[in-house]
Structure 1
Amino acid sequence: MNNMQLETILNQHLNANAFKDYCPNGLQVEGRPDVKKIVTGVTASQALIDLAVDNKADALLVHHGYFWRGESQPLRGMKYKRIKALIENGINLYAYHLPLDAHPVQGNNAQLALRLGIELKGSLEQGNPNSVVVWGELEQPLSPSDFAQKVAKVLDREPLTIDGGNGDIKKVGWCTGGGQDFIDLAASQGCDAFLSGEVSERTTYSAREQGIHYFAAGHHATERYGVKALGEWLADNHQLDVHFIDIDNPV
Protein backbone atom coordinates (compact mmCIF):
# COMPACT_ATOMS: atom_id res chain seq x y z
CA MET A 1 0.00 0.00 0.00
CA ASN A 2 1.20 3.52 -0.77
CA ASN A 3 2.20 5.44 2.35
CA MET A 4 -0.01 8.41 1.48
CA GLN A 5 -2.97 6.10 0.85
CA LEU A 6 -2.42 4.56 4.27
CA GLU A 7 -2.53 8.00 5.87
CA THR A 8 -5.82 8.76 4.12
CA ILE A 9 -7.32 5.48 5.36
CA LEU A 10 -6.24 6.15 8.95
CA ASN A 11 -7.34 9.78 8.88
CA GLN A 12 -10.79 8.81 7.66
CA HIS A 13 -11.20 5.88 10.03
CA LEU A 14 -10.22 7.97 13.07
CA ASN A 15 -11.94 11.17 11.87
CA ALA A 16 -8.63 12.88 12.54
CA ASN A 17 -9.52 16.23 10.95
CA ALA A 18 -12.29 16.80 13.50
CA PHE A 19 -9.85 17.20 16.41
CA LYS A 20 -7.95 20.24 17.66
CA ASP A 21 -4.92 18.51 19.10
CA TYR A 22 -1.60 19.24 20.78
CA CYS A 23 0.35 17.71 17.90
CA PRO A 24 -0.10 16.85 14.21
CA ASN A 25 -2.07 13.67 13.56
CA GLY A 26 -1.21 11.48 10.59
CA LEU A 27 2.07 10.97 8.76
CA GLN A 28 4.70 12.82 10.83
CA VAL A 29 7.87 11.50 9.18
CA GLU A 30 7.78 10.32 5.58
CA GLY A 31 9.55 7.11 4.65
CA ARG A 32 9.51 4.69 1.73
CA PRO A 33 6.43 4.88 -0.54
CA ASP A 34 5.41 1.21 -0.30
CA VAL A 35 4.12 0.00 3.08
CA LYS A 36 3.65 -3.71 3.72
CA LYS A 37 4.94 -4.28 7.26
CA ILE A 38 3.93 -2.11 10.21
CA VAL A 39 5.07 -2.07 13.83
CA THR A 40 2.64 -0.52 16.32
CA GLY A 41 3.37 0.74 19.83
CA VAL A 42 2.37 3.38 22.35
CA THR A 43 5.27 5.84 22.02
CA ALA A 44 7.85 6.45 19.28
CA SER A 45 10.79 6.00 21.63
CA GLN A 46 14.26 5.08 20.42
CA ALA A 47 13.75 1.53 21.72
CA LEU A 48 10.61 1.07 19.61
CA ILE A 49 12.29 2.59 16.54
CA ASP A 50 15.23 0.20 16.94
CA LEU A 51 12.86 -2.77 17.09
CA ALA A 52 11.01 -1.50 14.01
CA VAL A 53 14.36 -1.40 12.21
CA ASP A 54 15.19 -4.93 13.41
CA ASN A 55 11.79 -6.12 12.16
CA LYS A 56 12.38 -4.45 8.76
CA ALA A 57 9.18 -2.45 9.16
CA ASP A 58 8.06 0.02 6.51
CA ALA A 59 6.04 2.03 9.01
CA LEU A 60 5.69 2.74 12.70
CA LEU A 61 2.18 3.53 14.00
CA VAL A 62 1.98 5.05 17.50
CA HIS A 63 -0.23 7.01 19.88
CA HIS A 64 2.54 9.35 21.09
CA GLY A 65 4.58 10.75 18.24
CA TYR A 66 6.49 14.03 17.91
CA PHE A 67 6.12 17.79 17.35
CA TRP A 68 4.08 18.59 20.44
CA ARG A 69 2.85 22.10 21.10
CA GLY A 70 5.54 23.95 23.04
CA GLU A 71 8.19 21.36 22.19
CA SER A 72 11.66 22.61 21.31
CA GLN A 73 11.86 22.79 17.51
CA PRO A 74 15.53 22.12 16.68
CA LEU A 75 16.38 18.60 15.57
CA ARG A 76 19.19 17.86 17.98
CA GLY A 77 20.07 15.40 20.73
CA MET A 78 17.48 12.68 21.42
CA LYS A 79 15.01 14.10 18.89
CA TYR A 80 17.64 14.16 16.13
CA LYS A 81 18.72 10.55 16.81
CA ARG A 82 15.13 9.29 16.65
CA ILE A 83 14.23 11.07 13.42
CA LYS A 84 17.61 10.25 11.85
CA ALA A 85 16.98 6.54 12.50
CA LEU A 86 13.54 6.72 10.91
CA ILE A 87 14.76 8.57 7.80
CA GLU A 88 17.90 6.47 7.29
CA ASN A 89 15.83 3.29 7.42
CA GLY A 90 12.96 4.60 5.27
CA ILE A 91 10.38 4.11 8.05
CA ASN A 92 7.17 6.11 7.90
CA LEU A 93 5.97 7.42 11.27
CA TYR A 94 2.20 7.73 11.77
CA ALA A 95 0.90 9.13 15.06
CA TYR A 96 -2.65 9.64 16.32
CA HIS A 97 -3.25 11.26 19.68
CA LEU A 98 -6.78 12.47 20.59
CA PRO A 99 -8.41 10.70 17.60
CA LEU A 100 -7.11 7.40 18.97
CA ASP A 101 -8.30 8.22 22.49
CA ALA A 102 -11.82 8.94 21.28
CA HIS A 103 -12.56 6.31 18.61
CA PRO A 104 -15.68 4.34 19.65
CA VAL A 105 -14.20 0.94 18.76
CA GLN A 106 -10.40 1.03 18.48
CA GLY A 107 -9.99 4.00 20.84
CA ASN A 108 -8.05 3.82 24.09
CA ASN A 109 -11.16 4.53 26.18
CA ALA A 110 -13.27 1.97 24.35
CA GLN A 111 -10.60 -0.72 24.48
CA LEU A 112 -9.99 -0.18 28.19
CA ALA A 113 -13.72 -0.48 28.88
CA LEU A 114 -13.84 -3.74 26.94
CA ARG A 115 -11.09 -5.23 29.07
CA LEU A 116 -12.46 -3.99 32.38
CA GLY A 117 -16.01 -5.15 31.71
CA ILE A 118 -17.51 -1.66 31.66
CA GLU A 119 -20.43 -1.00 29.32
CA LEU A 120 -19.60 2.32 27.66
CA LYS A 121 -22.66 4.58 27.85
CA GLY A 122 -21.45 7.91 26.50
CA SER A 123 -19.50 11.12 27.02
CA LEU A 124 -19.26 13.10 30.24
CA GLU A 125 -18.82 16.22 28.09
CA GLN A 126 -22.33 16.79 26.82
CA GLY A 127 -22.45 18.19 23.30
CA ASN A 128 -18.86 17.24 22.45
CA PRO A 129 -18.90 14.49 19.77
CA ASN A 130 -15.11 14.11 20.06
CA SER A 131 -14.94 13.82 23.83
CA VAL A 132 -12.06 11.90 25.40
CA VAL A 133 -13.75 11.53 28.79
CA VAL A 134 -16.52 8.94 29.03
CA TRP A 135 -18.69 7.01 31.45
CA GLY A 136 -20.19 3.57 31.69
CA GLU A 137 -21.50 0.95 34.08
CA LEU A 138 -20.23 -2.29 35.53
CA GLU A 139 -22.53 -5.29 35.09
CA GLN A 140 -22.46 -5.83 38.85
CA PRO A 141 -21.37 -3.33 41.53
CA LEU A 142 -17.87 -3.89 42.91
CA SER A 143 -16.20 -2.73 46.09
CA PRO A 144 -13.28 -0.33 45.56
CA SER A 145 -10.81 -3.08 46.53
CA ASP A 146 -12.38 -5.56 44.08
CA PHE A 147 -12.35 -3.00 41.29
CA ALA A 148 -8.70 -2.19 42.04
CA GLN A 149 -7.87 -5.91 41.85
CA LYS A 150 -9.62 -6.15 38.50
CA VAL A 151 -7.65 -3.19 37.14
CA ALA A 152 -4.41 -4.71 38.45
CA LYS A 153 -5.14 -8.07 36.81
CA VAL A 154 -6.07 -6.56 33.44
CA LEU A 155 -3.24 -4.01 33.25
CA ASP A 156 -0.63 -6.07 35.12
CA ARG A 157 0.09 -3.29 37.62
CA GLU A 158 -1.36 -2.10 40.90
CA PRO A 159 -3.35 1.12 40.52
CA LEU A 160 -2.91 3.96 42.97
CA THR A 161 -6.27 4.05 44.77
CA ILE A 162 -7.92 6.90 46.67
CA ASP A 163 -11.00 5.92 48.68
CA GLY A 164 -13.83 8.38 48.19
CA GLY A 165 -15.84 6.76 50.95
CA ASN A 166 -19.07 6.38 48.96
CA GLY A 167 -19.57 2.61 48.97
CA ASP A 168 -19.55 0.25 46.00
CA ILE A 169 -18.87 1.14 42.38
CA LYS A 170 -21.43 0.88 39.59
CA LYS A 171 -21.11 4.05 37.48
CA VAL A 172 -17.54 4.69 36.32
CA GLY A 173 -16.04 7.67 34.53
CA TRP A 174 -12.63 7.42 32.87
CA CYS A 175 -10.10 9.04 30.59
CA THR A 176 -6.95 7.17 29.63
CA GLY A 177 -3.57 8.86 29.91
CA GLY A 178 -3.32 12.28 31.55
CA GLY A 179 -7.01 12.82 32.24
CA GLN A 180 -6.95 13.17 36.02
CA ASP A 181 -8.52 16.63 36.10
CA PHE A 182 -11.75 15.27 34.65
CA ILE A 183 -12.47 13.79 38.09
CA ASP A 184 -14.48 16.91 38.99
CA LEU A 185 -16.68 16.45 35.92
CA ALA A 186 -17.19 12.79 36.80
CA ALA A 187 -18.13 13.67 40.38
CA SER A 188 -20.60 16.33 39.21
CA GLN A 189 -22.38 13.74 37.06
CA GLY A 190 -22.79 11.15 39.79
CA CYS A 191 -20.01 8.71 39.01
CA ASP A 192 -19.06 6.37 41.84
CA ALA A 193 -15.48 6.18 40.59
CA PHE A 194 -13.09 7.82 38.16
CA LEU A 195 -10.07 6.21 36.49
CA SER A 196 -7.24 7.82 34.55
CA GLY A 197 -3.65 7.04 33.74
CA GLU A 198 -1.86 9.81 35.62
CA VAL A 199 -2.55 11.43 38.99
CA SER A 200 -1.82 14.88 40.43
CA GLU A 201 -1.42 16.00 44.04
CA ARG A 202 -4.76 17.83 43.86
CA THR A 203 -6.59 14.70 42.69
CA THR A 204 -6.49 13.25 46.19
CA TYR A 205 -8.54 16.10 47.64
CA SER A 206 -10.98 16.12 44.72
CA ALA A 207 -11.73 12.44 45.39
CA ARG A 208 -12.01 12.71 49.16
CA GLU A 209 -14.01 15.92 49.28
CA GLN A 210 -16.45 14.97 46.51
CA GLY A 211 -16.97 11.37 47.62
CA ILE A 212 -15.72 9.64 44.47
CA HIS A 213 -13.28 6.71 44.35
CA TYR A 214 -10.23 7.36 42.19
CA PHE A 215 -7.82 5.00 40.44
CA ALA A 216 -4.57 5.97 38.68
CA ALA A 217 -3.63 3.01 36.52
CA GLY A 218 -0.67 4.35 34.55
CA HIS A 219 -0.50 6.52 31.42
CA HIS A 220 1.21 3.85 29.36
CA ALA A 221 -0.82 0.94 30.74
CA THR A 222 -4.19 2.57 30.03
CA GLU A 223 -3.16 3.45 26.47
CA ARG A 224 -1.64 0.17 25.30
CA TYR A 225 -4.76 -1.20 23.70
CA GLY A 226 -5.98 1.44 21.28
CA VAL A 227 -3.00 1.35 18.93
CA LYS A 228 -2.90 -2.43 19.22
CA ALA A 229 -6.56 -2.66 18.17
CA LEU A 230 -6.01 -0.16 15.35
CA GLY A 231 -3.16 -2.27 14.00
CA GLU A 232 -5.32 -5.39 14.15
CA TRP A 233 -8.04 -3.52 12.23
CA LEU A 234 -5.52 -2.60 9.53
CA ALA A 235 -4.35 -6.20 9.26
CA ASP A 236 -7.90 -7.55 9.04
CA ASN A 237 -9.24 -4.99 6.59
CA HIS A 238 -6.24 -4.02 4.45
CA GLN A 239 -4.08 -7.15 4.37
CA LEU A 240 -1.07 -5.53 6.00
CA ASP A 241 1.51 -7.33 8.13
CA VAL A 242 1.16 -5.66 11.55
CA HIS A 243 2.99 -6.43 14.80
CA PHE A 244 2.37 -4.76 18.18
CA ILE A 245 5.44 -4.26 20.38
CA ASP A 246 5.04 -3.15 23.98
CA ILE A 247 7.95 -1.17 25.44
CA ASP A 248 7.15 -1.32 29.13
CA ASN A 249 6.83 2.01 30.93
CA PRO A 250 5.98 2.15 34.66
CA VAL A 251 4.45 5.64 34.40
Structure 2
Amino acid sequence: MNTGDFEILMTQLFGKWIKEFEDEGEYGFTHKVEKEIKVIAYATNLTPETVEKAHNSGADLLITHHDAWDFVYGMKEVCVDELKKHHISHYFTHYPLDFVEFGTSTALFERIDIDEITSLSSFKDNQELPGIGIFHEPLTFLELKERLEHVMEEPVKAWKNHDRRINKVGILTGAGNNTALIEYAKKQNCDAFITGERTLYSVQYANFAGISLYVGSHTYTEIFGVENLVFRIQKHYPNVKVVRINEEHIESC
Protein backbone atom coordinates (compact mmCIF):
# COMPACT_ATOMS: atom_id res chain seq x y z
CA MET A 1 0.00 0.00 0.00
CA ASN A 2 1.32 3.43 -0.87
CA THR A 3 0.16 6.84 0.37
CA GLY A 4 -2.22 7.30 -2.55
CA ASP A 5 -3.82 3.90 -1.93
CA PHE A 6 -4.32 4.88 1.71
CA GLU A 7 -6.05 8.16 0.81
CA ILE A 8 -8.44 6.37 -1.55
CA LEU A 9 -9.24 3.79 1.13
CA MET A 10 -10.06 6.52 3.68
CA THR A 11 -12.71 7.96 1.35
CA GLN A 12 -14.16 4.48 0.87
CA LEU A 13 -14.24 3.61 4.58
CA PHE A 14 -15.61 6.95 5.81
CA GLY A 15 -17.99 7.73 2.96
CA LYS A 16 -20.38 10.56 3.80
CA TRP A 17 -18.45 11.57 6.92
CA ILE A 18 -15.49 12.68 4.81
CA LYS A 19 -17.82 15.08 2.98
CA GLU A 20 -19.64 16.11 6.17
CA PHE A 21 -16.47 17.47 7.76
CA GLU A 22 -14.57 18.54 4.65
CA ASP A 23 -12.39 21.62 5.22
CA GLU A 24 -13.25 21.71 8.95
CA GLY A 25 -9.88 20.47 10.21
CA GLU A 26 -11.37 17.23 11.51
CA TYR A 27 -9.22 14.80 9.53
CA GLY A 28 -6.23 14.62 7.23
CA PHE A 29 -2.46 14.44 7.09
CA THR A 30 -0.45 16.43 9.59
CA HIS A 31 2.65 15.34 7.68
CA LYS A 32 2.68 13.28 4.49
CA VAL A 33 5.55 11.28 3.06
CA GLU A 34 5.09 9.64 -0.34
CA LYS A 35 6.33 6.12 0.34
CA GLU A 36 5.34 2.48 0.60
CA ILE A 37 3.46 1.84 3.85
CA LYS A 38 4.54 -1.46 5.38
CA VAL A 39 3.98 -0.70 9.09
CA ILE A 40 1.15 1.36 10.61
CA ALA A 41 1.34 2.45 14.24
CA TYR A 42 -1.80 3.74 15.96
CA ALA A 43 -2.75 5.64 19.09
CA THR A 44 -5.43 8.02 20.31
CA ASN A 45 -3.21 11.10 20.49
CA LEU A 46 -0.49 12.75 18.43
CA THR A 47 2.24 13.68 20.91
CA PRO A 48 6.06 13.68 20.78
CA GLU A 49 5.90 10.43 22.77
CA THR A 50 3.61 8.64 20.30
CA VAL A 51 5.77 9.80 17.39
CA GLU A 52 8.89 8.44 19.11
CA LYS A 53 7.17 5.12 19.84
CA ALA A 54 5.98 4.93 16.24
CA HIS A 55 9.58 5.46 15.09
CA ASN A 56 10.81 2.75 17.46
CA SER A 57 8.22 0.35 16.02
CA GLY A 58 9.48 0.97 12.48
CA ALA A 59 6.26 2.67 11.39
CA ASP A 60 5.86 4.31 8.02
CA LEU A 61 2.51 5.81 9.03
CA LEU A 62 1.10 6.87 12.40
CA ILE A 63 -2.71 7.03 12.65
CA THR A 64 -4.39 8.79 15.57
CA HIS A 65 -7.85 9.95 16.53
CA HIS A 66 -6.63 13.39 17.62
CA ASP A 67 -4.36 15.89 15.99
CA ALA A 68 -1.96 17.82 18.23
CA TRP A 69 -4.51 20.59 18.67
CA ASP A 70 -3.41 24.23 18.45
CA PHE A 71 -4.60 24.94 22.00
CA VAL A 72 -1.94 22.54 23.31
CA TYR A 73 0.47 25.34 22.53
CA GLY A 74 3.61 24.44 20.60
CA MET A 75 3.17 20.67 20.66
CA LYS A 76 2.08 20.29 17.04
CA GLU A 77 5.23 21.98 15.76
CA VAL A 78 7.42 19.63 17.79
CA CYS A 79 5.46 16.61 16.53
CA VAL A 80 5.80 17.68 12.89
CA ASP A 81 9.56 18.22 13.35
CA GLU A 82 9.86 14.68 14.76
CA LEU A 83 7.74 13.20 11.98
CA LYS A 84 9.94 14.87 9.40
CA LYS A 85 13.10 13.71 11.13
CA HIS A 86 11.93 10.09 11.19
CA HIS A 87 10.32 10.18 7.71
CA ILE A 88 6.92 9.12 9.10
CA SER A 89 3.52 10.18 7.77
CA HIS A 90 0.79 11.07 10.22
CA TYR A 91 -2.97 10.93 9.57
CA PHE A 92 -5.70 11.74 12.06
CA THR A 93 -9.46 11.28 11.84
CA HIS A 94 -11.52 12.95 14.54
CA TYR A 95 -15.24 13.50 13.93
CA PRO A 96 -15.41 11.06 11.00
CA LEU A 97 -14.19 8.28 13.32
CA ASP A 98 -16.62 9.30 16.06
CA PHE A 99 -19.63 8.82 13.80
CA VAL A 100 -18.76 6.17 11.21
CA GLU A 101 -20.52 2.85 11.87
CA PHE A 102 -17.36 1.14 13.15
CA GLY A 103 -16.17 4.18 15.11
CA THR A 104 -15.34 5.08 18.68
CA SER A 105 -18.66 4.52 20.45
CA THR A 106 -19.44 1.38 18.47
CA ALA A 107 -15.97 0.03 19.24
CA LEU A 108 -16.39 0.53 22.99
CA PHE A 109 -19.82 -1.12 22.86
CA GLU A 110 -18.18 -4.09 21.13
CA ARG A 111 -15.38 -4.33 23.69
CA ILE A 112 -17.82 -4.42 26.64
CA ASP A 113 -19.83 -7.14 24.86
CA ILE A 114 -23.09 -5.25 24.41
CA ASP A 115 -25.75 -7.56 22.98
CA GLU A 116 -27.44 -5.06 20.67
CA ILE A 117 -26.65 -1.58 19.40
CA THR A 118 -30.02 0.04 18.75
CA SER A 119 -28.66 3.34 17.39
CA LEU A 120 -25.18 4.46 16.36
CA SER A 121 -23.57 7.64 17.62
CA SER A 122 -24.22 10.35 15.09
CA PHE A 123 -24.05 14.04 14.20
CA LYS A 124 -27.27 15.83 13.31
CA ASP A 125 -28.18 19.54 13.19
CA ASN A 126 -24.66 20.39 14.38
CA GLN A 127 -25.08 18.24 17.49
CA GLU A 128 -23.41 15.03 18.61
CA LEU A 129 -25.70 12.15 19.60
CA PRO A 130 -24.62 9.21 21.77
CA GLY A 131 -24.89 5.62 20.60
CA ILE A 132 -27.45 3.46 22.42
CA GLY A 133 -27.09 -0.22 23.25
CA ILE A 134 -28.81 -2.96 25.24
CA PHE A 135 -27.61 -5.77 27.49
CA HIS A 136 -30.17 -8.55 27.10
CA GLU A 137 -29.14 -9.82 30.53
CA PRO A 138 -28.82 -6.62 32.57
CA LEU A 139 -25.63 -6.04 34.57
CA THR A 140 -25.25 -4.72 38.08
CA PHE A 141 -23.68 -1.30 38.53
CA LEU A 142 -20.40 -2.88 39.66
CA GLU A 143 -20.37 -5.49 36.89
CA LEU A 144 -20.41 -2.78 34.24
CA LYS A 145 -17.72 -0.80 36.07
CA GLU A 146 -15.49 -3.86 36.27
CA ARG A 147 -16.08 -4.68 32.61
CA LEU A 148 -15.02 -1.18 31.58
CA GLU A 149 -11.94 -1.27 33.78
CA HIS A 150 -10.92 -4.64 32.37
CA VAL A 151 -11.23 -3.40 28.79
CA MET A 152 -9.48 -0.05 29.31
CA GLU A 153 -6.95 -1.35 31.84
CA GLU A 154 -7.44 1.70 34.06
CA PRO A 155 -9.66 2.91 36.92
CA VAL A 156 -13.12 4.14 35.94
CA LYS A 157 -14.97 6.77 37.96
CA ALA A 158 -18.60 5.79 38.46
CA TRP A 159 -21.66 7.21 40.17
CA LYS A 160 -24.55 4.92 41.07
CA ASN A 161 -27.64 7.09 40.72
CA HIS A 162 -30.41 4.47 40.96
CA ASP A 163 -30.93 0.88 42.13
CA ARG A 164 -31.91 -0.69 38.79
CA ARG A 165 -29.73 -3.15 36.93
CA ILE A 166 -28.05 -1.77 33.80
CA ASN A 167 -30.07 -2.75 30.75
CA LYS A 168 -29.84 0.19 28.33
CA VAL A 169 -26.64 2.21 27.90
CA GLY A 170 -25.67 5.42 26.12
CA ILE A 171 -22.07 5.99 25.01
CA LEU A 172 -20.33 9.03 23.64
CA THR A 173 -16.60 8.51 24.00
CA GLY A 174 -14.05 11.21 24.77
CA ALA A 175 -15.41 14.59 25.83
CA GLY A 176 -19.02 13.56 26.36
CA ASN A 177 -19.38 15.82 29.38
CA ASN A 178 -22.18 17.98 27.99
CA THR A 179 -25.31 17.62 30.12
CA ALA A 180 -27.40 17.65 26.90
CA LEU A 181 -25.82 14.31 25.97
CA ILE A 182 -26.85 12.81 29.30
CA GLU A 183 -30.34 14.26 28.89
CA TYR A 184 -30.56 12.59 25.46
CA ALA A 185 -29.56 9.24 26.99
CA LYS A 186 -32.13 9.77 29.75
CA LYS A 187 -34.86 10.44 27.19
CA GLN A 188 -33.89 7.17 25.46
CA ASN A 189 -34.55 5.42 28.81
CA CYS A 190 -30.89 4.58 29.37
CA ASP A 191 -29.87 3.26 32.78
CA ALA A 192 -26.26 4.37 32.30
CA PHE A 193 -24.14 6.83 30.34
CA ILE A 194 -20.48 6.15 29.53
CA THR A 195 -17.97 8.76 28.42
CA GLY A 196 -14.35 9.91 28.76
CA GLU A 197 -14.55 13.23 30.62
CA ARG A 198 -16.67 14.80 33.34
CA THR A 199 -17.48 18.21 34.81
CA LEU A 200 -19.18 19.21 38.03
CA TYR A 201 -22.37 19.75 36.04
CA SER A 202 -22.36 16.41 34.26
CA VAL A 203 -21.99 14.64 37.62
CA GLN A 204 -24.71 16.83 39.14
CA TYR A 205 -27.12 16.31 36.27
CA ALA A 206 -26.61 12.53 36.10
CA ASN A 207 -27.43 12.37 39.80
CA PHE A 208 -30.48 14.62 39.39
CA ALA A 209 -31.71 12.68 36.33
CA GLY A 210 -31.23 9.28 37.98
CA ILE A 211 -28.90 7.84 35.35
CA SER A 212 -25.69 6.12 36.45
CA LEU A 213 -22.52 7.72 35.10
CA TYR A 214 -19.27 5.97 34.13
CA VAL A 215 -16.20 8.01 33.17
CA GLY A 216 -13.00 6.48 31.86
CA SER A 217 -10.21 8.51 30.27
CA HIS A 218 -10.59 10.40 27.02
CA THR A 219 -7.67 8.43 25.60
CA TYR A 220 -8.81 4.92 26.47
CA THR A 221 -12.51 5.30 25.76
CA GLU A 222 -11.48 6.13 22.17
CA ILE A 223 -8.50 3.90 21.33
CA PHE A 224 -10.73 1.04 20.15
CA GLY A 225 -12.22 3.14 17.37
CA VAL A 226 -8.73 3.70 15.99
CA GLU A 227 -8.10 -0.01 16.38
CA ASN A 228 -11.24 -0.84 14.39
CA LEU A 229 -9.99 1.47 11.63
CA VAL A 230 -6.52 -0.03 11.33
CA PHE A 231 -7.95 -3.56 11.35
CA ARG A 232 -10.12 -2.57 8.39
CA ILE A 233 -7.09 -1.19 6.59
CA GLN A 234 -5.29 -4.46 7.24
CA LYS A 235 -8.24 -6.39 5.78
CA HIS A 236 -7.76 -4.52 2.51
CA TYR A 237 -3.96 -4.77 2.66
CA PRO A 238 -3.09 -7.95 4.61
CA ASN A 239 0.66 -7.47 4.22
CA VAL A 240 0.59 -4.24 6.22
CA LYS A 241 1.69 -4.74 9.84
CA VAL A 242 -0.19 -2.79 12.54
CA VAL A 243 1.28 -1.84 15.91
CA ARG A 244 -0.64 -0.37 18.84
CA ILE A 245 1.16 2.45 20.65
CA ASN A 246 0.42 2.23 24.35
CA GLU A 247 0.02 5.68 25.90
CA GLU A 248 0.41 6.49 29.57
CA HIS A 249 -2.76 6.62 31.67
CA ILE A 250 -2.05 10.22 32.69
CA GLU A 251 -5.73 11.09 33.03
CA SER A 252 -6.23 8.41 35.67
CA CYS A 253 -3.52 9.64 38.06
TM-score (norm 1): 0.88
Report the Cα offset of residue 100 of structure 1: 1.3
1:16-67 deviations in Å (ceiling 9; x for gaps): 4233386331222112332222111111111111122222321111111235
Matched, 1:242 2:242: yes
1:71-93 deviations in Å (ceiling 9; x for gaps): 76xxxx43322111111222111
| CA–CA separation in structure 2 for the residues paired with 1:177 and 1:248 | 16
Which letter does structure 2 place at the counterpart of 1:41? A
Structure 1 pair 124–37 and aligned structure 2 pair: CA distance change class (3 A): closer
Matched, 1:18 2:24: no
Pick the aligned partner of 1:151 from 148, 162, 165.
Answer: 148
Which letter does structure 2 place at the counterpart of 1:10? M
| CA–CA separation in structure 2 for the residues paired with 1:117 and 1:37 | 29
Name stretches of at least 5 consecutive residues in structure 2 with no aligned partner. none
Which letter does structure 1 place at the counterpart of 2:107? Q
Structure 1 pair 160–96 and aligned structure 2 pair: CA distance change class (3 A): same
Structure 1 pair 193–38 and aligned structure 2 pair: CA distance change class (3 A): same
Match of 2:2 in 1: 2
| CA–CA separation in structure 1 for the residues paired with 2:122 and 2:56 | 43
How many residues are matched? 245
What is the RMSD computed on CA atoms of the aligned residues?
2.4
How do 1:1-251 and structure 2 match up within 5 A? 1-15=1-15, 16-20=17-21, 23-67=25-69, 77-105=74-102, 107-118=103-114, 119-123=116-120, 133-181=130-178, 182-239=181-238, 240-251=240-251
Report the Cα offset of residue 234 of structure 1: 1.4
| CA–CA separation in structure 2 for the residues paired with 1:26 and 1:126 | 19
| CA–CA separation in structure 1 for the residues paired with 2:77 and 2:6 | 25
1:161-193 deviations in Å (ceiling 9; x for gaps): 112225211011110111122111111221111
SS in structure 2 opposite 1:224?
A: helix
| CA–CA separation in structure 2 for the residues paired with 1:23 and 1:125 | 18
2:45–2:68 CA contact under 8 A, matched in 1: no
TM-score (norm 2): 0.87
The sequence identity of aligned pairs, in percent, is 24
1:19–1:98 CA contact under 8 A, matched in 2: no
Which letter does structure 1 place at the counterpart of 2:241? D
